[in-house]
Amino acid sequence: MNTPDPHADWLDALEGRRLTPGEADALHRRLAGRPREQARLAEELALDAALDVLPAPPVPGNFASRVWAEIDRDEADRKRRSRGWPAWLGGFRIIGPAVSFAALAVAMSGWWQFQAHQRAQLATNVAEVAQVFPDVETLRDFDAIRALEATPLPGDVELVAALAQ
């Protein structure tokens, strides 16, 4: 587990600004018992002093206008890239729902044709059964006849054996 440096607060005070002479003296007194941190403070103060001696870099007179021009150019590029290939397809807002509707129409048509085929197959099967059983009276006792066929009686087995001889 990383524990923060307890003496890092004096480095935070140096960051981003210059110390006044009073603040620098107070830091020297506070770091009196820590020679490594005193050496680091001396380096930071020497670096600040060296940077103060350097002249400010020249800034062109049109710096702000160049920055704004670059921002505008980046925004235009971003807009141009976002319009890429969907622009000539009409964008997803138009193409997406149209494709979804077409897929739904194809699926519904296929389902309707499947149902029509199933109904035609059922009609064919009913017509074949109607040829075998010409009237409804034949089918009325069908369950009773089927129940009798399922359970052979003991005498039936002997009768079949006698008929087979």
Residue range of the domain that includes 37? 9-55
Say if residue 145's pLDDT is above 80: no
CA 61-64-67 angle, 5° bins:
125
> Where would I find the beta strands (DSSP E) of 4-138?
none
In-domain check, residue 51: yes
Helix then strand then coil, in percent of the chain rounded to 5, is 75, 0, 25
Q: Render the burial of 135-150: b for 16+ CB within 10 Å, e for the rest.
A: eeeeeeeeeeeeeeee
Q: Does residue 22 lie within any of the structural domains?
A: yes
61 lies in some domain: no
Percentage of residues of the chain with pLDDT beyond 70: 76
Query: How many domains does the chain divide into?
Result: 1
Q: Is residue 30 assigned to a domain?
A: yes
Whether 29 is covered by a domain: the verdict is yes
pLDDT in tens, 79-122: 877 665 555 555 566 777 888 899 999 999 999 999 999 999 99
Reading phi first (left if > 0) and then psi (alpha if -120 to 50, else beta), residue 129 is in alpha
CA–CA dist 34, 10 (Å, integer) = 13
The pTM of the full predicted model, rounded to 2 decimals, is: 0.33
On whether residue 68 sits in a domain, the answer given is: no
pLDDT, tens only, 6-39: 556 777 777 777 888 888 888 888 888 888 888 8
Residue 44 lies in a domain: yes
Q: Is residue 38 part of a domain?
A: yes
